[in-house]
Amino acid sequence: MVNFSLEGKIALVTGASYGIGFSIATGFAKAGATIVFNDIKQELVDKGVAAYAAEGIKAHGYVCDVTDEAGVNTMVAQIEKEVGVIDILVNNAGIIKRIPMIEMSAADFRQVIDIDLNGPFIVSKAVLPSMIKKGHGKIINICSMMSELGRETVSAYAAAKGGLKMLTRNIASEYGEYNIQCNGIGPGYIATPQTAPLREVQADGSRHPFDSFIIAKTPAARWGTPEDLMGPAVFLASDASNFVNGHVLYVDGGILAYIGKQPK
Ligand code: NAP
Ligand code: GCO
């Protein structure tokens, strides 16, 4: 019997007050899971709790920075006490800095690596011992097109997301024998606040050149929506994917399959 249900499961989605994390958590709740999320500021957590409530979801929100190891350990212990042992972790919190590499400071580079790569390491490390004890667990790392491809201005982000793909494979390799599956989701270009600057309407009312570029580069001929990630995330969080491990599922409207349009 194929089982996509998340009934009785507890899911922690990091950085999920809005955007991709919010949609993934909402998909999980609709499949039966209890939702826990964190964000760096109290006001964002409050906004997140209210946004989940508007969807009919009672979410448990915590203030925590994923780069703060002691803070993450405290949060995970608190979640275990107040909600229960985490069955599903989604490492979603992330940032991007779009700066040409030769102009980027090492401090900026380090900050992106810290949040986008060290963060998933720290949070995964905190939840794994209880997953091992419980005899099952699902970790989903939110990767990127930049886990496979490069482009101008995103050197730190590409390095972090490429690293996250390999961290995914390594967690799968190291903890697969404990019935823990660690997989990635590689979203294509998704319309969220993170990509809003790339879609800004120009002064003359025309589309941002990057916006037109992405439409032409995507066989689906559109930007993705956070909701496009719900089904793939539920699959990777459920028993339906129990023999899928160390895989990155690209949800990109076909970008990685496509050589691109011939210029007119
Ligand atoms: P977003 O709209 O910017 O949301 C990211 C969330 O992470 C925000 O709530 C943010 O809080 C939080 N966050 C940032 N730093 C954090 C930290 N140190 N600790 C805890 N939370 C933190 O981004 P999104 O577009 O939904 O992206 C979510 C994930 O998908 C990211 O990992 C991103 O790289 C990845 N992704 C996005 C796309 C896309 O096209 N949008 C494509 C592929 C992958 P603040 O608001 O306080 O910063
Ligand atoms: C960029 C974008 C991307 C996307 C995404 C693609 O500037 O190229 O922000 O990196 O957010 O990660 O999958």
pLDDT exceeds 90 at position 197: yes
Q: Which of 91, 95, 96, 142 to mutate to test the pocket of ligand 2 (most atoms within 8 A of CB)?
A: 96
Average pLDDT over the chain, rounded to an integer? 98
Q: Whose CA is nearest to atom 21 of ligand 1?
A: 15
Question: How remote is the CA of residue 15 from the centroid of ligand 1, in Å?
Answer: 6
Q: What is the CA radius of gyration of the chain?
A: 18
Question: How remote is the CA of residue 94 from the centroid of ligand 2, in Å?
Answer: 11
φ and ψ of 173, to 5 deg: -70, -40
Which atom of ligand 1 is closest in space to residue 16's alpha carbon?
Answer: 9
Provide the pLDDT for residue 207.
95
Provide the pLDDT for residue 261.
85
Q: Tens of pLDDT along 95-134? A: 999 999 999 999 999 999 999 999 999 999 999 999 999 9
Provide the pLDDT for residue 19.
97
Provide the pLDDT for residue 262.
86
pLDDT band (50, 70, 90) for residue 263: confident
89 three-state secondary structure: strand
Unique residue bearing structure tokens 């730190």: 156
pLDDT exceeds 80 at position 1: no
pLDDT exceeds 80 at position 248: yes
Q: Tens of pLDDT along 52-109? A: 999 999 999 999 999 999 999 999 999 999 999 999 999 999 999 999 999 999 999 9
Provide the pLDDT for residue 168.
99
- What is the torsional sign of CA 111, 117, 122, 127? positive
By annotation, the residues acting in catalysis are 157
Provide the pLDDT for residue 68.
98
pLDDT exceeds 90 at position 50: yes
Q: Tens of pLDDT along 18-44? A: 999 999 999 999 999 999 999 999 999
Rounded Cα distance between 229 and 143, Å, is: 12
| DSSP state for residue 178 in the 8-state scheme | G
Provide the pLDDT for residue 264.
80
List 141's β-bridge partners, or say none. 91, 184
Question: How remote is the CA of residue 256 from the centroid of ligand 2, in Å?
Answer: 13
Q: Tens of pLDDT along 121-179? A: 999 999 999 999 999 999 999 999 999 999 999 999 999 999 999 999 999 999 999 99
The residue-averaged pLDDT of 195-217 equals 96
* One CATH from 3.40.50.1360, 3.40.50.2000, 3.40.50.720, 3.40.30.10 for 10-191+225-256: 3.40.50.720
Rounded Cα distance between 163 and 169, Å, is: 10
Q: Tens of pLDDT along 2-13? A: 899 999 999 999
65 CB within 6 A, ligand 1: yes
